[in-house]
A and B are shown apart, each in its own frame.
Chain A
Amino acid sequence: MCRRGPDGLISLLFVKVPMQSLPRPRSLPARTARPRTMLRFTPTAWAKLLFLRDYGSTEVGGFGISAAGDLLLVTDFVLVPQVCSVVTVAFDDVAVADYFDQQLDLGRQLEQVARIWIHTHPGNSAHPSHVDEETFERVFGRSDWAVMVIVACGGESYARLRFQAGPGGSLRLPLEVDFQTPFTASDQAAWEEEYLRCVRSQPGFSFPEDTLCEPRSLEDALGFDHPRQPRRQRHRLPQKPV
């Protein structure tokens, strides 16, 4: 506020005003809760993955099939013919090409069927090996995005998204079984048939049975406490600490 004094000079007066009437120095957008990016599995897809992980004594691998409108929702886990040992898994190159052709013939997009690479690990560690990292870089590094998922026999899981947009980058993804999505019943006979059709053990490469970890039960892996808690709709899976 300005006032002219008796000497003709103008002086400034400072007036106290209540804080509420002061405008904010700048308007900040309201902070909204942003859903965290995570990789979700339908219960059926997760159950199939665990069934195939635990069916034999070797690692297994395959591709996650994404929902058409939700690429980070895995609705199925599909094996391709492969040669495996207790600590390795190698897809057959021709089988991978056949898999691409079959999925395209089913009317799916490549981004639905070829971006989520899943395999299992023996023991308790789901941490990617140097072979895993090399494959993830060489095979999936040219795609716009891809996810590497590892599920260990002991129950630990690991998922990492890499993307090419902008400067590119990667981030760890939490894994979750989403019970809120529609899902089908399990079909263990078909899963067993798929395993027997696709997985070949590498001869002469095995560990004594007593050195392998005991697979967790499906209930344990899905996170149900004992007694089961059927009202729980979502459960975060055990993650490897970052």
Chain B
Amino acid sequence: MKILYVNNDGGGFADHIEIQDGTSVAQLFSQRVTNGKPSDYLIRVNRQPAASDQLLLPGDRVTFTPVKIEGA
């Protein structure tokens, strides 16, 4: 199935990707983010916060965006 995947790491990615049916948010994270912790990202599915065990559905929009952007 296809989902829209958005992640700013590397070259920046916002495209449709093919994943296996039954893939969870946590599985997608481990597949796509090799050097990063989930706590460093806000993970949303269809603009809503997602649990790690949430199963993805065709057409979902999954975004991994950075958290704690702070300056001083």
Binding site for B on A (CB under 8 A): 59, 61, 87-91, 93-94, 96-98, 100-101, 104, 109-111, 114-115, 117, 119, 129-132, 135, 138-140, 142-144, 150, 164
Contact = CB atoms under 8 A, between A and B. Distances in A.
Given A96-B69, A132-B72, A109 B42 contact: no
Contact of A131 (B36, B47, B67, B71): B71
A100 B71 contact: no
A50 B67 CA distance: 26
A100 B41 CA distance: 13
Nearest to B4: A104
Given A59-B71, A98-B47, A138-B66, 14 more contacts: A91-B70, A93-B65, A96-B66, A97-B42, A97-B44, A97-B63, A97-B65, A100-B8, A109-B14, A130-B72, A139-B40, A142-B8, A142-B35, A143-B8
Most buried by B among A89, A139, A140, A150: A139
18 contacts: A61-B69, A61-B71, A90-B68, A90-B70, A96-B42, A97-B47, A100-B63, A101-B47, A109-B12, A109-B14, A119-B71, A129-B71, A129-B72, A130-B72, A135-B69, A138-B40, A139-B40, A142-B10
Chain B: interface size category: 20 to 34
Contacts, number: 92
A108 B2 CA distance: 21
Most buried by A among B42, B44, B65: B65
B18 interface: no
A114 B42 CA distance: 15
B57 interface: no
Contacts of A88: 70-72
A87 B72 contact: yes
Given A93-B42, A97-B42, A97-B44, A117 B69 contact: yes
A178 to B, nearest CB: 24
